[in-house]
Amino acid sequence: MIQAKRKTGLIFFPAYDWEISPTHPERQERLLYTQDQVLEEGLLDIQGIKEFKAGLAREQDINRAHFCVPDVNSRITHSHNISAGGCMEAARLVLEGVVEKTFALVRPPGHHAMRVVHGVRGFCNINIEAVMVEWIRKNYPRIKKIAIVDTDCHHGDGSQDIYWHDPNVLYISMHQDGRTLYPGSGFTDEFGGPGALGLTLNVPLPPRTSDQGFLHAIENLILPVLDEFKPDLIVNSAGQDNHYSDPITHMAFTARGYARLNELLDPDICVLEGGYSIESALPYINTGIILALAGVDYSFVREPDLKPEELREEPGVMDYIKDLCESILDAWHQRNKNSMPNNQFVERNRRIFYDTDGISENQQETLRFCSDCPGVFKIDTQASTGYRALCVHVPHGACKACRRQGREWFDTVKGRYYAAYLQDMDNNVYLIDIQ
């Protein structure tokens, strides 16, 4: 019998009862073919690879990561509770020492869901990784620093938004250039908020980037940054729509490339995100990732239609990728040279479109920049649904002045708003004051 070098847990939740539509890329079959492949290849017969059941995220778990307007239950289905709960269980298994690695093969996905949620964006209702990360921080305070490496083909604008101001969560997104793909963001100048500069890193790769380009970015940019950041936990937001056969993207990654990426990255937890080549890609990619996590030979993993000669980088593409990685790494090393006066209020105005639901949102964010803590912020949000809300976030490790400012914002809201919302992370408090 084959023995895994590292005990690895798998969590399957195909979400049979949830789909956007029977023919939509985000439908039940996305995981059923992978499940069949895992069984056919005998991966669960490998000693040290074991399947576990998903958990269940509760309303308070979701409230740690999101302001759901008007409320959590109106924004999600039971399947979303189980998808996020599967991620939480994946984390528990690792942090309790039951296994060394986990892969949450769950759906629906989540990395386009931002801190404020009025509807569905990019197939995402809630951010399942963020729900997991905040659950970890509440229940395992020894985990101080977390890195999320997002390898989905689409920029994880939701994860970026949630951790934009957080100095203890490093968010790295490696994706197809936003000039050529939804959501049209994820450029190198998106570098984190004023108190967390450099802790958001975007690697926008050109269309048709293959294994060579992806792995160069991992080895020459992402691994050196991780080595300097020294996270207590690494999460791979493991989207699989970079595959050469994916119907809605334009990249050239292979299943074996994905396996090598995870071998190099060595994440503690993988969470499935996108990937819509249901038969041609996902079963092979997931097999490769599972074997890589477990430390088992994956050299036999190969797509039946693979033609490596057709996936080679075009002339000049690798030079572009090398220059891109060098410039991002240089910016990372220079990140602490910028500073701001303490107690200054910084504003950010944004327009957000919920493409799945056709909802438009206007946001005005005000951050109290603070040298003593990550800084309290409020979001004045108004959506085309008619809801206007004030959302106040008091961060982990908030100082007394920022905590006082947050309560003042929340307590003095009068009129104009449907409700005021408060997240107090240290005290695990979430309040809604309906006006």
Is 268 among the domain residues?
yes
How far from 129 is each of 67, 314, 353, 382, 392, CA to CA, in Å?
Answer: 15, 34, 21, 25, 21
From the list 80, 111, 112, 216, the catalytic residue is: 112
Reference 15, options 111, 108, 86, 84; nearest CA is 108
In this predicted structure, the answer to whether residue 332 has a pLDDT above a threshold of 80 is yes
The total domain count for the chain is: 2
Is 242 among the domain residues?
yes
Cα 251 from Cα 204, distance rounded (Å): 12
In this predicted structure, the answer to whether residue 341 has a pLDDT above a threshold of 80 is no
Indicate the SS3 state at residue 201.
strand
Cα 8 from Cα 109, distance rounded (Å): 21
In this predicted structure, the answer to whether residue 16 has a pLDDT above a threshold of 80 is no
Is 141 among the domain residues?
yes
Confidence of residue 23 (pLDDT cuts 50, 70, 90): confident
List, for residues 158-198, the tens digit of each pLDDT value. 999 999 999 999 999 999 999 999 999 999 999 999 999 99
List, for residues 65-101, the tens digit of each pLDDT value. 999 999 999 999 999 999 999 999 999 999 999 999 9
On whether both 319 and 189 belong to a single domain, the answer is: yes
Q: Which of 310, 335, 360 is the last residue of a domain?
A: 335
More confident residue, 19 or 141: 141
In this predicted structure, the answer to whether residue 38 has a pLDDT above a threshold of 90 is no
In this predicted structure, the answer to whether residue 205 has a pLDDT above a threshold of 80 is yes
- Let me know: does 228 contact 264? Beta carbons within 8 Å: no
pLDDT of 355 reads 94
Q: Which of 283, 301, 335 is the last residue of a domain?
A: 335
Mean pLDDT calculated for residue range 277-291: 92
List, for residues 385-403, the tens digit of each pLDDT value. 999 999 999 999 999 999 9
pLDDT of 30 reads 82
The per-residue pLDDT of the chain, averaged, comes to: 94
On whether both 234 and 349 belong to a single domain, the answer is: no
Is 125 among the domain residues?
yes
On whether both 374 and 324 belong to a single domain, the answer is: no
Mean pLDDT calculated for residue range 116-132: 97
On whether both 350 and 331 belong to a single domain, the answer is: no
On whether both 310 and 364 belong to a single domain, the answer is: no
In this predicted structure, the answer to whether residue 111 has a pLDDT above a threshold of 80 is yes
On whether both 277 and 398 belong to a single domain, the answer is: no
On whether both 328 and 361 belong to a single domain, the answer is: no
Find the CATH number of the domain harbouring 224.
3.40.800.20
Indicate the SS3 state at residue 206.
coil
On whether both 418 and 293 belong to a single domain, the answer is: no
On whether both 324 and 376 belong to a single domain, the answer is: no
Is 326 among the domain residues?
yes
Active site residue 66: no
Domain of 290? 3-335
Is 388 among the domain residues?
yes
On whether both 351 and 330 belong to a single domain, the answer is: no
Q: Report helix angle 282-294 to 255-265, nearest 10.
A: 30
Is 340 among the domain residues?
no
Reference 173, options 160, 163, 189, 192; nearest CA is 160
Residue 237 tokens read as 């937001």
- Let me know: does 105 contact 269? Beta carbons within 8 Å: no
On whether both 401 and 294 belong to a single domain, the answer is: no
On whether both 287 and 406 belong to a single domain, the answer is: no
- 3-state class percentages of the chain: helix first, strand second, coil last, to nearest 5: 30, 25, 45
- Let me know: does 381 contact 361? Beta carbons within 8 Å: yes
Mean pLDDT calculated for residue range 282-308: 95
In this predicted structure, the answer to whether residue 272 has a pLDDT above a threshold of 90 is yes
Entry pTM? 0.96
In this predicted structure, the answer to whether residue 15 has a pLDDT above a threshold of 90 is no
pLDDT of 340 reads 64
Lay out the sheet containing 345-354: strands in order across: 345-354, 359-368, 377-383, 388-394, 419-424, 429-434
Mean pLDDT calculated for residue range 403-413: 95
Q: Which of 285, 308, 335 is the last residue of a domain?
A: 335
Q: What is the CA radius of gyration of the chain?
A: 21
